[in-house]
Structure 1
Amino acid sequence: MAQTVVISGTGLYTPEQKISNEELVESFNSYVAQYNAEHADAIAAGSVQPLQPSSAEFIEKASGIRSRYVLDREGILDPQRMRPRLPTRGNDEPSFMCDMGAAASREALQQACVGVEAVDGIIVACSNMQRPYPAIAVELQAALGVEGWGYDMNVACASAAFGIQAAADAVRNGSARAVLVVSPEICSGHLNFCDRDSHFIFGDAATAVLVSAAEGAPAAGQFEVLGTRLRTVFSNNIRNNRGFLNRSESPGRSEADRLFVQNGRRVFKDVVPMVSELISTHLRDLGIDPHSVRRFYLHQANLAMNEYIARRVLGRDATADDAPVILDEYANTSSAGSVIAFHKHRDDIQADDVVVLSGFGAGYSAGCVVMRKH
């Protein structure tokens, strides 16, 4: 007999350091002035295009973002550097991702009122892996003292939703009693802070979700997983080419090409209908009227994108209560974003309320998790 699967706890790690739009713009505009001065002759000759300054108003209008949390603000705000300073740790030290994931995991376990002995597996599901191997999940397993297994998965910004499905399947078929799905995102490490169109997009954070069997989990606060659904469609419109086959000395790859790049307008046009259809058909197949859904926890990438998706699913404009926004404070935290929204905006959900969590991004990839509050 298949187990009833619930989400019994969530956790969040938020870095101590924060950067406002105004601070980011001041640094970026200093870089722009410096670049244009250094290339003044080439700009005058028409062989180099001048860089354009940014503004806090432009950033908020384009994205809805007002600030972001980061692991290192000093390096990012240094016009001579424009990237975080995250020193390489020794092999005998915990990785940054392990530290972040452990903090979020401990909160999830505490919220669920269980110890590590109840957990059989860990899935680290995120966009930006600190290294190829050994798996961050296995390192995190050792740091927490979890007996069992761990593995990493990367499906870009949809990773947490994909991880929840994998965890739910493991619990449902009886191969695990509980699985931690952890999304430690160091998004600032792969962002081009010299690019006006994208330098403001990402922030750093980590989340953890404890997926467990309903039996043995505390009744209070449980969200039963009614169903999960995933979809992927290949696209180059969001891409990061950094990898061991294109190291810094490799020809044919600029440094900018090894960082986050996207065709934002095309992504918007492609992803909005894809995600709207995924959520709508999933709810229909579960026999759930979209208008009866209490809350939608959508991927926190772009405010306008979320507004369009919610409008297509509901047939009307969504309120902040229908689809909470944490994007303004955290910026885009990739796979962690929808879980942060869930973590921060679920205390008022009542028994039998249905909620939807959805992540979507590069790939294209999209995942939908439908839950009911016990």
Structure 2
Amino acid sequence: MSHSPQPVISATGLYTPSESISNDELVAAFNAYVALYNRENADAIAAGELSELTESSVEFIEKASGIGSRFVVDKDGILDPAHMAPRLPMRSNDELSVLAEIGVAAARDALARAGRDAADVDAVLCAASNMQRAYPAMAIEIQNALGIDGFGFDMNVACSSATFGIQTAADYIRAGHAKSVLVVNPEICSGHLNWRDRDSHFIFGDVATAILVEDKDIAPAGHWDILGTKLKTVFSNNIRNNFGFLNRTHGTIDQAGPKTDKLFVQEGRKVFKEVVPMVAQMIVDQMAVLDLQGSDMRRLWLHQANTNMNRLIAHRVLGHEASEDESPTVLDTYGNTSSAGSIIAFHLHHDDMVAGDTGLICSFGAGYSAGTVFVRKT
């Protein structure tokens, strides 16, 4: 009898930068920048030509997002009121890129947890919000650094990149094109955040995660069966990042770096109002397809962008206010890490689950994009 491949999650990996910025530190730096800006532009502000900037506060940040701190690859550059961006020296073409470096670290963690050698992996998908360059693909660089004989490519669906990557890897397993696929999510979100924007300067942090998706026949004990996946995209301008290779032809890059309209920008209230019902309905519909009820769901590992969004989505799915145990958060220490957020939540909050427990990894963000991965512990 021929074998019908069944994709499972064998393990996940996590790389966390050594430096962290608290809300207190971030607010102090931001308010120093505000004071500097208002002082240097006092005449224009008095003449009504420019608007005076408003200070931020810890209370504002925590009420708006639930974020308490964030890990970053370069703390000093971000907290410098005269710079307010990470300082990452250019590396030569013979050196491992920053994005690949943290991706390799997360991938090695996942491989070690699965007891898997890199030589056993057939493919690498680098699924993340922002790629360090157009080509060669970061996935191929990670593949080369790990010594994997196979193929790799980059994919970007913003904050849903990881779940889209998991379904893509699962499809390769089902089709027999691979038996072991690494989905790697290196996110240096501090590089595309406008740290001078009061409405969003607190949102993002840096991190890398990895997911090893394999054929059940070779997976280690204690793996996670993938019960089903569902992806959805709906075009929206409410979250944008316009930075790209064509920007140079429009004169939007100078010695000070990209203009602010080529950094992360969003209409937060519109996003909240439109994304929450869309994602909640998507989850409920997919649960019906899989014959699952809210009472069947042991845990929800939701995208880590906003505590209020997660609270409302979890309530719709479970039918009651979710406890921290049912819908854990990592926002308080990691901030929003784009595609890696739901994977961090899963990675850090699944060891207590037992065979038969069912959970959901869910992402949502720019695009709009949304992805669900229903899993069951074996």
Show the counterpart of 2:161: 159
2:262 counterpart of 1:258? yes
The 3-state SS of whatever aligns with 1:123 is: strand
Shift of 1:313: 1.5
Show the counterpart of 2:112: 110
Provide the aligned C-alpha RMSD in A.
Answer: 1.3
| Residues 253 and 259 in structure 2, CA contact (< 8 A), matched pair in contact too | no
Alignment counterpart, residue 189 of structure 1, candidates 188, 191, 201: 191
One-letter identity of the residue aligned with 1:227: G
Task: Tell me, in whole angstroms, the C-alpha distance in 2 between the residues paired with 1:331 and 1:252.
Answer: 28
Matches of residues 39-50 of structure 1 in structure 2 within 5 Å? 39-50=41-52
The 3-state SS of whatever aligns with 2:217 is: coil
Query: 246-255 vs 236-245, which deviates more?
Result: 246-255
Alignment counterpart, residue 177 of structure 2, candidates 175, 178, 192: 175
Show the counterpart of 1:243: 244
One-letter identity of the residue aligned with 1:244: F
One-letter identity of the residue aligned with 2:263: L
Task: Tell me, in whole angstroms, the C-alpha distance in 1 between the residues paired with 2:27 and 2:248.
Answer: 30
Structure 2 portions without partners, runs of 5+: none
Show the counterpart of 1:141: 143
Task: Tell me, in whole angstroms, the C-alpha distance in 2 between the residues paired with 1:52 and 1:320.
Answer: 34
Show the counterpart of 1:223: 224
Shift of 1:218: 1.3
Show the counterpart of 1:280: 284
Count of equivalent residues: 373
1:145-196 CA-to-partner distances (Å, cap 9, x unmatched) read: 0010000000000000000000001011111010000000000000000000
| Residues 127 and 157 in structure 1, CA contact (< 8 A), matched pair in contact too | yes
1:257-281 CA-to-partner distances (Å, cap 9, x unmatched) read: 0000000000001100111011111
Alignment counterpart, residue 342 of structure 2, candidates 315, 318, 338: 338
| Residues 65 and 201 in structure 1, CA contact (< 8 A), matched pair in contact too | yes
Matches of residues 60-71 of structure 1 in structure 2 within 5 Å? 60-71=62-73
Show the counterpart of 2:373: 369
Shift of 1:248: 8.1
Task: Tell me, in whole angstroms, the C-alpha distance in 2 between the residues paired with 1:251 and 1:218.
Answer: 50
Shift of 1:315: 2.1
Task: Tell me, in whole angstroms, the C-alpha distance in 1 between the residues paired with 2:65 and 2:50.
Answer: 28
Task: Tell me, in whole angstroms, the C-alpha distance in 2 between the residues paired with 1:251 and 1:335.
Answer: 27
Shift of 1:73: 0.4
Show the counterpart of 1:119: 121
Task: Tell me, in whole angstroms, the C-alpha distance in 2 between the residues paired with 1:187 and 1:251.
Answer: 20
1:101-158 CA-to-partner distances (Å, cap 9, x unmatched) read: 1110011011111101211000000101100110000000000000100000000000
One-letter identity of the residue aligned with 2:261: D
Task: Tell me, in whole angstroms, the C-alpha distance in 2 between the residues paired with 1:248 and 1:291.
Answer: 55
Task: Tell me, in whole angstroms, the C-alpha distance in 1 between the residues paired with 2:43 and 2:253.
Answer: 26
Show the counterpart of 1:234: 235
The 3-state SS of whatever aligns with 1:27 is: helix
2:301 counterpart of 1:297? yes
Task: Tell me, in whole angstroms, the C-alpha distance in 2 between the residues paired with 1:118 and 1:228.
Answer: 25
Shift of 1:291: 1.8
Task: Tell me, in whole angstroms, the C-alpha distance in 1 between the residues paired with 2:253 and 2:354.
Answer: 55
Show the counterpart of 1:100: 102
The 3-state SS of whatever aligns with 1:355 is: strand
Matches of residues 10-21 of structure 1 in structure 2 within 5 Å? 10-21=12-23
Q: TM-score, normalised by structure 1?
A: 0.98
| Residues 127 and 162 in structure 2, CA contact (< 8 A), matched pair in contact too | yes
Shift of 1:252: 11
Shift of 1:247: 2.2
| Residues 122 and 180 in structure 2, CA contact (< 8 A), matched pair in contact too | yes
Q: Sort the Cα spacing of 1:51 and 1:248 in 2 relative to 1 into closer, same or farther, 3 A.
A: farther
Show the counterpart of 2:203: 201
Shift of 1:251: 6.0
| Residues 6 and 224 in structure 1, CA contact (< 8 A), matched pair in contact too | yes
Task: Tell me, in whole angstroms, the C-alpha distance in 2 between the residues paired with 1:295 and 1:126.
Answer: 24
The 3-state SS of whatever aligns with 1:245 is: helix
Shift of 1:249: 5.8
One-letter identity of the residue aligned with 1:333: T
Q: TM-score, normalised by structure 2?
A: 0.97
2:310 counterpart of 1:306? yes
1:40-60 CA-to-partner distances (Å, cap 9, x unmatched) read: 111112221100001111101
Show the counterpart of 1:326: 330
| Residues 297 and 318 in structure 2, CA contact (< 8 A), matched pair in contact too | no
One-letter identity of the residue aligned with 1:162: F
1:178-227 CA-to-partner distances (Å, cap 9, x unmatched) read: 000000000000000000000000000000000001112212x2000011
Task: Tell me, in whole angstroms, the C-alpha distance in 2 between the residues paired with 1:251 and 1:208.
Answer: 34
Query: 311-320 vs 149-158, which deviates more?
Result: 311-320
Runs of 4 or more, structure 1, over 4 Å off, are 251-254
Task: Tell me, in whole angstroms, the C-alpha distance in 2 between the residues paired with 1:156 and 1:251.
Answer: 22
Task: Tell me, in whole angstroms, the C-alpha distance in 2 between the residues paired with 1:316 and 1:290.
Answer: 9
Shift of 1:359: 0.8
Show the counterpart of 2:362: 358
Shift of 1:12: 0.1
| Residues 248 and 255 in structure 1, CA contact (< 8 A), matched pair in contact too | no
